[in-house]
Amino acid sequence: MMKLILLISIDTVSSRFQNDLLRVCSAAFQKVEDGLLKCILLDYRHCISQLKELKKADKFADFPIICPYAYA
């Protein structure tokens, strides 16, 4: 019974650590993304929004040409 309680508490600590790590890493990636979008990729906002939406002009049109910076 004691081993079971110890294993449950270790799993709980491990799960809490994983959640904290995920939260910290997500926040760090979000900061990097925000910095890139505000500085380096500022001139390519239109290209990035086109890539996100990936719209055609009409049913028979080709997809718009999207610059490589949008994929960054």
CB burial of 28-56 (b: ≥16 within 10 Å; e: otherwise) equals eeeeeeeeeeeeebeebeebbebeeeeee
**Residue 5 reports pLDDT greater than 70:** no
**Residue 19 reports pLDDT greater than 80:** yes
What pLDDT, on a 0 to 100 scale, did the predictor assign at position 1? Answer: 47
Q: Domain coordinates of the chain in residue numbers? A: 1-39, 42-72
Q: Give tens-digit pLDDT for 20-58.
A: 999 999 999 999 989 988 888 888 888 888 888 876 667
What pLDDT, on a 0 to 100 scale, did the predictor assign at position 31? Answer: 94
pTM: 0.53
DSSP state of 34: H
Higher pLDDT, 56 or 71: 71
Q: What contacts 24+ positions apart, CB below 8 Å, involve 36-43?
A: 36/72, 41/69, 41/72
